[in-house]
Structure 1
Amino acid sequence: MNQALDVLLDLLDLEQIEEDIFRGVSRPSIVPRVFGGQVAAQALVAAGRTVPDDRSSSSRLRSSRGGPNAHSLHAYFLRAGDPGAPIVYTVDRIRDGRSFTTRRVVAVQHGQPIFHLSASFQTYEEGLEHQTAMPDAPDPETLPTAAEMLPRHLPAHVAERLVEARAAVDLRYVDMPPWGTVGQPREPRSQVWFRANGKLADDSLLHVCLATYVSDMTLLDSVLLAHGRGGWAVGDVVGASLDHAMWFHRPFRADEWLLYDQESPSSSGGRGLGQARIWTQDGRLAVTVIQEGVVRVPR
């Protein structure tokens, strides 16, 4: 395991300060606010730690030793988080049914809510099975790493900060990212392969939380591509996540290659919508993601 992944896992290992109340800290950010994927992943950890043991997905994740079986989350980003202050996560136990468990989590800083999450967990059961076909994508091992690609297309100080911020994850772009094709609008679709930069424990919730963390990194790139904009890296767009939803369809490991296939069907009113599917390398549809974010052109 590399040091950056170790730091990330420490961030996800929340401190319990009271029943259903947890505290998390943040890592230094490349922007003056807490990374949204971190808050979402920490909130899901907090929710999962209050779920009964019978919601374990030990039979779903290969070689798993258990962990709550999250099947969906819906979240709103309310305020920018302060990376220099702890975040307190309060969990409401909304419902424990025979098959499903629902939790609501509020993240608070400086006495104000910055993030709301609703998450649902399910006992494992067999059911109808179908999925759409996985899109074509090159072998991730043939693609350059972020550390190799970023310095070729961004100023050195920006590339260095991005590489450092993403060091816990091996993230590989299939096509040129938006900051590499500024001024050249193209189809609003992008693909990246990703996996944790090291071996993870056999805990299904941890793998889901790692995917949640990564899901906020690149999803709005497809919005920028449609307009030939490069985003914050080149300063031609101001953006922030507004809401985020994920559905976890099938078991997966976040330390094995996952294809994040992303597209944007619309942008308007200073907002952009991204939707995506996450696939395992052997073609199983693992996750569906939808996010809307602020996408403003500076004036």
Structure 2
Amino acid sequence: MKIHSMHCYFILAGNAAVPIVYHVENVRSGRSYATRSVHAKQKGQTIFTTTCSFTRPVSEDTDEPRRTVQHSIKFPKEVPAPEDCLTGAQMINKWLSEGRVGAEVAEFLKQGEANDPFEFRRAGIVNDTPETDPTHKLQRQWVRARGNILDEGTHLPALAYFSDSSFIGTASRVNPQARSGQVGMKVSLDHTIYFHNARNTRVDRWLLVESDSPWAADERALVTQRIWDPEVGLLATCYQEGLMRLRDGREGESENHVNSKL
């Protein structure tokens, strides 16, 4: 069976220096679908939960495809190619030259970018004008694993991993109210992934990630994401809600991204 959806909740911030114990419950194992519940714990406390649903792939050698309803959002038009977009290091240097970050922050960001198992190239924000409503803006970026992945079973977990990278930050990038260091706190609360083309998903080639934010209020923001392979089509759709608070002058306030990925 192949996974087709994950519904995750980030309960507490994880500590990379502390071992994680995963408790897996077999909720159901049917002929076509299976469900597993996972609790990740550190020092006896649950820091993360997810419910994973698996399905038996439809066989192309039987009559099953005849029972399948099919449609999909098409790959966007007029997207700059990865080679025409700035690398992570080039983007950081651009921010430094524009005065958006200082030298110390730029060096910190470069180290993080160099150590990331994935390479990201931003393809811009569609409709990024002051008069455009934030809900009508789209953020696009290319992403690819550094190096080839030989283990076929690694591609879907790897996609789940990178799908959380800078995801909730979409809300602050499309809304001028939350730009220019105005966000004091930004934390992922939950994360949902729907896998659409598991058998053809490979993360060691360039994938396009398009995200938007349909809603933000009550110190929370909702973001959605679509992940495409230009040659295959839509691979996954993701949803995430996060806590987002603007700065209000409190002592010790800073825009810290709690590392929720395990």
Q: Find the counterpart in structure 1 of residue 98 from structure 2.
A: none
Matched, 1:133 2:81: no
Residues 158-207 of structure 1: CA deviation (Å, up to 9, x unaligned): 23333333431110001169xxx9xx986542011101011002313x11
Letter in 2 for 1:132: I
Structure 2 letter corresponding to 1:135: P
Pick from 68, 72, 77 the counterpart of residue 10 of structure 2.
77
Task: Name the structure 2 match of 1:22.
Answer: none
Q: What residue number does 2:107 align with?
A: 160
Given the superposition, is the C-alpha separation of residues 159 and 235 from structure 1 closer, same or farther in structure 2, using an over 3 Å criterion?
farther
| Aligned sequence identity (%) | 33
Q: How far, CA to CA, are the matches of 2:191 and 2:209 in structure 1?
A: 15
* 1:1-299 to 2 correspondences below 5 Å: 55=1, 69-126=2-59, 127=65, 128=68, 129-136=70-77, 137-153=79-95, 154-166=101-113, 167-175=116-124, 187-204=136-153, 206-228=154-176, 229-230=178-179, 234=181, 236-250=183-197, 251-282=200-231, 284-299=233-248
Residue type at the aligned position of 1:156:
A
Q: TM-score, normalised by structure 1?
A: 0.70
Q: In structure 1, what is the Cα distance between the partners aligned to 2:184 and 2:125?
A: 18
Structure 1 unaligned spans of 5+: 1-54, 56-68
How many residues are matched?
225
Residue by residue over 1:64-96, the C-alpha shift from the partner in whole angstroms, topping out at 9 and shown as x without a partner, is: xxxxx2111001011111222111111111111
Aligned mates of 1:238, 1:160 — CA distance in 2: 22
What is the CA deviation profile of residues 267-299 of structure 1, one whole-angstrom value per residue up to 9, with x for unaligned ones? 010000000110002250100000000011122
Gapped regions of structure 2 (runs ≥ 5): 60-64, 96-100, 249-262
Preserved contact between residue 4 and residue 195 of structure 2 (Cα < 8 Å): yes
Do the aligned partners of 1:189 and 1:225 also contact (CA within 8 Å) in 2? no
Q: Which one has a larger percent strand, Structure 1 or Structure 2? A: 2
Give the secondary-structure state (helix, strand or coil) at the position aligned to 1:256.
Answer: coil
For normalisation by structure 2, the TM-score amounts to 0.79
Tell me, yes or no, if the aligned pair for 1:230 and 1:237 is still in contact at 8 Å: no
How far apart are residue 157 of structure 1 and its match? 2.7
Q: Distance in 2 between matches of 1:168 and 1:155?
A: 25
* Partners of 1:101 and 1:282 in 2: CA distance: 30
**Native 8 Å contact 1:246 1:290 kept in 2:** yes
| Larger-gyration structure (1/2) | 2
Distance 1:123 1:283, change over 3 A: closer
Contact 2:221 2:241 in 1 (8 A): yes
Describe the SS at the equivalent of 2:164: helix
**2:109 partner amino acid:** L
Give the partner amino acid of 2:34: T
